Amino acid sequence: MAQNNTLRAPDSFTLKAVLSNYNLRIESKPPKAHHINIKAPAVIEDLTNKKQYKSQLIKEDRAIFSLPGSTYRIFQVSLYLCDDANTYCEKHTVQASWKNKLELEKIKPPEKANALLTPQEFKIDEYGFILNAPEKAFEIAKKDRKPLLIDFYGIWCPPCNLLDEEIYSLPEFKKRSEKFVKLKLDADDPVSWPLKSRYRVGGYPTLVFATPDGDEISRLVGFYPKDEFFSVLEKAFLKRDESFEKLLKQAQQGDLEASKQVGVLYLERKDYENAYLYLKHLTNTDLEYEKLKAAEIGKTEDKALLKELLEKSIEEISDSISTLEFLSKLAELHEDPKDFQKKKGLLQKLVALTKKIITNPKKIKGSEWTLADVLTLQATTYEELKEKNLAQKAYEAAAQQYKKSLANLRGIRSTASRGYNLELAYCLGKSGKISQAEKIYTTLQKEYPKEFTFYFSHARLHFELKNYLKAKELSEKALEFSYGDNKLRVVEVVAQSYEALGDKKAALKLVQNTLASIQLPEDKTIRTHRYFNKLKAFEKKLLSL
C-alpha cells in the first residue's frame, strides 16, 4: 500500500449526478484497472451547507451518495482507489458543483472558505414569479421597497393550478402585480419550510402579502375569482407599509376594527387561541360573527364541549358555508357505533343544506367554495349514508360544473388545464364513468410526462377499483417523478399496491427505506410530519401482519 504523497492511480474518478425523488443522487466509478476499497471510508461533503454524508451504497465498481435537495451547491467526494492487482490503495477526492438538473461541472477548489457562499441561482416563471428562491425575493423587496406576494403552492393542487390558469395568465394580473415582488414556493420542497413556519401556512394555495421587510399584511387561502382576488391585491398594496405587527399594536390599544382584522388573520393561520382573543368582542349582529364561532370551535379540545359548541353554532348560523363546515365536523365526532342514528341525522341535515345552497348559489359568493365543491361534498355525504346511486349522481353533477368551467377557459387548451381536469377526472371516476376519467388522466400524462401528479391520481382511481396491478404500475411511475412531501404520499399508494398483490416484503422495504431517507422539518406543524406519521402507521400495520 502506498505510504508516500504521490498518487499512482489517475487523479480522478468519474462522477454522474441525477435528481431523483428530490435527492441529488451521485454515482462515482473507478478508472480502468482500479476498484474502490469497500472497507475504507467513502464520504461526500456538501461544502455549501457544511454537511457530510456517508455513501448509501459502496461496491468495488461504484459508490452511490445522496444529498437532500436540488438547489445549487458545491460538494466533494472522497474514497479510496486500489489497483486491481492490490499493490496500492490511496485516497482520492473529486470536487464538483451541481447547477441544475443533469448538469455536473468540475470546478477548481476555492481559494477561500467564503468563496463557497455562492449566491442562490433563481428562475422566474412566465407569470413573473421568482421560483423557490426566497432569499433573492426578499433581497429585491428590501432593495426596491416593494411589497411581497408569496404564493405557497403544490403542483398537485387543483386550486393552485387554477390560479395560474384563471388569474396569473390574465394581462390584468401582469399589470396590477408589477407593484409587488412575486415569489412562488413549492410546498413539497424543503426550501419552503422556513417561510411556511414563519407564516403558519397549512393549506394550499396560501397567498401571503407582506411588507418589503417580510411582515405579513394579509393573505388569501384557496382560489378566488378575479374580482375578489384583485380587491385583496389592491388592499394589500395600499397597506404595504402597515405590517401585522403595527395592526397588532393598534388592537392591543383597544382599536376594535384592528382587533377584528388581527383575529381574522390569526384564524387563517389556524392560531385559534389568539383568533378568539381578538374576535371575542363580536356579536351575532356582526358579519364576521361566524369567524368568532370558528375560532371558538378550533381552540376547543374537549370532545363533549366541542359537540356542544358546534350544535349551538349550527343553530345560530343557519344556511351558510360555515354551517356546512360545522355540520361536517360534528358528524365526524360521532364515530361511536352507539351514535349511528345521531350521525345519520346530521348527515341528512348536511345533504339538505347542500341542496339549499345549490339552489341559491349566492350564498357561496365571497368564499373559496364553488358550486362544484358543494356538489362534491353532497356526494361524499351520500357515500357515508351508503346511498351509492345518489352519490354517483352528485359526482356527475359536479363533473358537469367542471366541464362548464373548462368551456369558459381563456387562452389555454382545455386538454392542458391541470386544475379543472384533475377535479373533472376525479368526479367522473367516482360517478362510475371510468373510461371518461381514464381518457383525461392519460391525456394529462401525455401533456406532463415527467410529473407525478397525474400518474398518482390515476393510480388512486385504479386502487379504489381494486385494479391493483394497474395501480402498482401507475404509482411506481408517479414515484419516479415524486419528491419531498408528495413522495411520502406516493410511497404509501405504491406500498399499498404491493401489499394488495401479496408482496408484503417489498411494501415494507419501500416504506422503511423511504422513512429512513426523509428529512423532516424542525417545526412539527408543517404537514410533512403528518404524511411521515401516516407512513409510519402503515409501517406498523405491515409489521403486525
pLDDT block averages, 10 residues each, the chain of length 545? 39 73 78 86 81 85 82 80 79 76 44 33 88 94 96 96 94 96 95 94 95 94 93 94 89 94 93 96 90 95 94 90 94 91 96 95 88 97 97 98 90 82 97 97 94 96 97 96 93 97 96 90 91 96 92
Cα–Cα distance, 329 to 344 (Å, whole number)? 13
Strand order in the sheet with 57-59: 14-20, 23-29, 62-68, 57-59
pLDDT of residue 517: 85
pLDDT of residue 10: 54
pLDDT of residue 536: 96
SS3 22: coil
pLDDT of residue 22: 54
Dihedrals φ, ψ of 490, to 5°?
Answer: -70, -45
Residues 10/58, Cβ–Cβ less than 8 Å: no
What is the enclosing helix (H) or strand (E) of 249?
A: helix 244-252
- Long-range own/partner contacts, residues 272-277 (CB < 8 A, 24 or more apart): 272/296, 272/297, 272/298, 272/299, 273/299, 275/299
What is the enclosing helix (H) or strand (E) of 44?
A: strand 43-46
- DSSP-assigned letter for residue 84: T
Cα–Cα distance, 319 to 360 (Å, whole number)? 10
CATH code: domain 449-545 is 1.25.40.10
Q: Which three three-digit cell numbers place residue 468? A: 391493483
By the 10 Å C-beta count (0-12 exposed, 13-18 middle, 19+ buried), 374 is classed as buried
Q: Which three three-digit cell numbers place residue 479? A: 414515484
Residues 531/485, Cβ–Cβ less than 8 Å: yes
- DSSP-assigned letter for residue 296: H
Q: Show me where the domains of the chain are located.
A: 14-116, 123-242, 449-545
**Domain 123-242, CATH class in plain words:** alpha beta
Question: Partners of 123 in the beta sheet?
Answer: 131
Cα–Cα distance, 303 to 301 (Å, whole number)? 6
Q: Are strands 216-221 and 181-186 parallel, antiparallel or unpaired?
A: unpaired
By the 10 Å C-beta count (0-12 exposed, 13-18 middle, 19+ buried), 338 is classed as exposed
Cα–Cα distance, 297 to 205 (Å, whole number)? 23
pLDDT of residue 168: 96
pLDDT of residue 80: 85
Residues 324/374, Cβ–Cβ less than 8 Å: yes
pLDDT of residue 13: 80
Write down the architecture of domain 14-116 according to CATH: Sandwich (2.60)
Fold matches, 14-116 and 449-545: no
- 3-state SS of 406-425? HHCCCCCCHHHCHHHHHHHH
Q: Which residues contact 62 (CB under 8 A, 6 or more apart)?
A: 27, 28, 29, 30, 36
Residue type, 152: F
Nearest to 199 by CA among 183, 180, 217: 217
pLDDT of residue 276: 96
Does residue 205 have a cis peptide bond before it, meaning omega lies within 30 degrees of 0? yes
